[in-house]
Amino acid sequence: MFGLGKKDTTLLIVVAVLTMLAPFILNPFPTDSGMAQFNAGYPDLMQRFVIFGIFAIGFNILFGLTGYLSFGHAAFLGVGSYAAVWMFKLLSMNVLPAILLAVIVAGLFSVLIGYISLRRSGIYFSILTLAFAQMSFALAYSVLTPITGGETGLQLALDDPRILGVSQTEGGNIPVPALFGLEMRATTELSVGPWDFVFNAGYYVSAVFMLLAFYLAIRIFRSPFGMMLRAVKSNQQRMSYTGLNPKPYTLAAFVISGMYAGLAGGLMASMDPLAGAERMFWTASGEVVLMTILGGVGTLIGPVLGAGAIKYMENIISKINSDILHSWFAFMPDGLEDFVVAIVYPFIGKGWHLTLGIIFMAVVIFLPGGLVEGGQRIAAWVRGKKQKPEKDSVTEPAE
């Protein structure tokens, strides 16, 4: 089905089902319960899950297949966001042209950076990409202020010369991004007993793009082109000895990865029409590296899992404060309660990065394959446990 093998088709269907049912899956606790703060089924966070999932999937095509570690991929994310906002300002508030322009501009920008950076490999390549990203950040933040908006960012205005749409609504407001009339902020709520589920148009538009990006990544991984990229990662010098030039393949992977980042940037601008230089900063590039390694480098579903885990911690775990901790441990004696809160508090709230660092170190040390390897180990353990009684029941022949 879809030109995929049975295993890949099953994986794609599972990802599609989980994505479509995310409003239910991410809201496991009743709205009025004390655990409701762990629910992640609200539109803004769900959009971040799938958009950064696209970003990480694209980065994994470069890093996971070729082994080239880019520290400047956020430059393409930022360029895509700027391109999308400019399309909103000049042409139309329809998200499709904006997303298309974001992908094209990011692709052209990645051709330029990739052509120069790929003249080196290893740490030199990584430093070159980081340098280009920081130069892009500096240009967007100061020199190119008329184009990027500088430190305030590029935003929509009431006097935008929009060709295929109105500059302002009848109420005097700025129009909002839409898909052929369907506003990205449009939401529908469903109440089932104590549970409230929110269905957002912007999330489902982003989810469809994520599924398409995931499907394309599967095709790349299973294609002869993907095998060539693995050959580059395995031994580029030996590949050159066979008469094959690895540069076109690595440049193609770099451009495809940059276009994925541009798609993510365009979707970010479509959900919230604002583009800022901070999206190009080195921390944003480092974040996608963490997502990929945490989920599993070179795996298909790993980058999506890593993106979801980090964005969950950033938006949920970071909001837990001392008052919430005291309510959790209120059953303890006062002295013991204060002691436990004092021990736990540095790892949540503003200290959520400490917890992320510990998890990341544990994954690198004990699970080099990331969360995917952890799931595989658990599945193997469960299968082994089920098969063990059957093996024990077999009667051994007498000697």
DSSP output for 61-114: HHHHHH----S-THHHHHHHHHHHHHHHHHT-SBHHHHHHHHHHHHHHHHHHHH
Question: Residue 269: what pLDDT?
Answer: 95
Q: Which of 81, 55, 85, 73 is nearest to 134 (CA)?
A: 73
pLDDT band at 173 (very low <50, low <70, confident <90, very high): confident
CA quadruple 139, 144, 148, 153: dihedral, nearest 10: 70
* Residue range 134-149: mean pLDDT, rounded: 92
Angle between helices 247-271 and 201-222 (to 10 degrees): 170
The pLDDT, as a whole number, for residue 1 is: 67
Which carries the bigger pLDDT value, residue 281 or residue 392? 281
Give the per-residue pLDDT at 396. 47
**Helix or strand or coil: residue 47?**
helix
pTM: 0.92
pLDDT at 49: 95
Domain boundaries, the chain: 6-298, 316-388
Residue 154 β-bridge partners: 275
332-344 pLDDT, tens per residue?
Answer: 888 898 888 899 8
Reduced to 3 states (helix: H, G, I; strand: E, B; else coil), residue 364 is helix
C-alpha 226/C-alpha 66 separation (Å) is 9
pLDDT of residue 398: 41
Neighbours of 320 (CB within 10 A): 18
Average pLDDT over residues 133-151: 92
| Helix and strand counts by DSSP (H, E) for the chain | 16, 6
Is-contact 153 276, C-beta < 8 A? yes
Q: Are 81 and 102 in contact (CB under 8 A)?
A: yes
| pLDDT at residue 164 greater than cutoff 70 | yes
Q: Enter the DSSP assignment of 33.
A: S
Mean pLDDT of all residues in the chain?
90
Instruction: Please tell me the number of Cα atoms within 13 Å of 45 on its side-chain side.
Output: 21
pLDDT tens for each residue of 232-269:
998 888 888 888 889 999 999 999 999 999 999 999 99
d(CA 245, CA 261) in angstroms, rounded, equals 26
Nearest to 182 by CA among 199, 207, 202: 202
pLDDT digits (tens, 9 = 90+) for 359-396: 889 988 998 889 999 988 998 888 887 776 554 444 44
172: left (phi over 0), alpha (psi -120 to 50) or beta: left
Backbone angles phi, psi at 275, to 5 degrees: -130, 130
CA atoms of 87 and 333, how far apart (whole Å):
60
Using CA of residue 241, residue 245, residue 251, residue 252, what is the dihedral sign?
A: negative
- Per-residue model confidence (pLDDT) at position 393: 45
Structure tokens at 228: 């060539």
